Structure 1
Amino acid sequence: MNQKVLQDRLKVFAIDIVRFAEGLPESLGFKTVRNQIVRSGPSSAANYRAACRGKSTADFKHKLEIVEEELDETLFWLEFTVGLDETKRTLIGPLWKEGNELLSIIVASIKSVKQK
C-alpha cells in the first residue's frame, strides 16, 4: 500500500470517527468519549501526513509511533463506548475493524523502518 492510499484511509477513518462522535448522546460519559475521540482519531491522520514529510528515517519512525499511539487511543475510546452502552457495538463494528487494520499497517511499517 502506498503512502497516498494510507493517507486517504486514515483521513476517511478520521472523518468517520468525528461523525460517529457527533451522534453520541449528551450524557457526561459520552461527552468524555466525544471530547477524546475527536482528538485521537483525526490526530492519527494528521500525524501520518506529517510522517510522510519526515526529515529523516528517525523522524519518520517517531511520527509513525505517534500515529500508533493515537490509533490505539481511538480504539480504547471505541471500547469504552461499548462499555457505556452495549447497543453501540454494531455501530462501532466497522470503525473498530478499520482502526485495527490501520493500526496493524502502522505497526508493520514501524517494524520495517526499525529493520533498516
Structure 2
Amino acid sequence: MKKENVVREKSFRFAVRAIRLYQYICDGQKEYVLSKQMLRSGTSVGANVREADNAESKADFIHKMGVAQKETDETLYWLELMKETGYLAEKEFTSMHADADELLKLIRSIIITAKANR
C-alpha cells in the first residue's frame, strides 16, 4: 500500500482552488492580470512538490521544496493584493489565505527536517 503524501495532496487541492478562484475572479470581477499571477504561482506549488518527489538527491529535494515554498509565499502576496484592491471579498480571501498559510508552514517544516537529516 502506498504511503500517504500529505503535502502532495494539499498542494494539489490548493492548485484546484487557485484555478477555481481565478475563474471566479475573471467571470465576476473581470480582472485578469493579478488573478493570472495568483493562478501561476498557486498551481506551481504542487508542480514543484511533485518534482521534489522525484528528486535526484537530497539537495535536489530541498531545492525543489524551496521553490514550492517561494511559490506559496508569492501566492499569498497576490491574494493579499487582490483583497486590498477590492477584487477579493473577505470570505474568499480568508479561506484561500488560510490554506496557503498552512501549506507554507508544512513546506517549511519539510525543508527544515530534510536539512537536518542531510
State the match for 2:46 in structure 1: 45
Q: Which has the higher helix share?
A: 1
State the match for 1:113 in structure 2: 114
Q: Secondary structure of the equivalent of 2:51? A: helix
Q: TM-score, normalised by structure 2?
A: 0.88
What is the number of residues matched between the two proteins?
112
State the match for 1:82 in structure 2: 83
**In structure 2, what is the Cα distance between the partners aligned to 1:49 and 1:22?**
24
1:35 is the counterpart of 2:36 = yes
- Give 1:87 deviation, angstroms: 5.9
1:13–1:41 CA contact under 8 A, matched in 2:
yes
**In structure 2, what is the Cα distance between the partners aligned to 1:87 and 1:38?**
14
Q: Percent identity?
A: 29
Q: TM-score, normalised by structure 1?
A: 0.90
Q: Secondary structure of the equivalent of 2:32? A: helix
Distance change (3 Å), C-alpha of 1:3 and 1:64 = farther
1:66-112 Cα shifts (integer Å, max 9, x gaps): 00000000010110011111761211211111110110010111111
1:23-79 Cα shifts (integer Å, max 9, x gaps): 1111xxx32212101100010001001101101000000000000000000010110
Unaligned 5+ runs, structure 2: none
Structure 1 segments, 4+ long, off by >6 Å, are: none
**In structure 1, what is the Cα distance between the partners aligned to 2:16 and 2:48?**
15
Unaligned 5+ runs, structure 1: none
1:3–1:52 CA contact under 8 A, matched in 2:
no
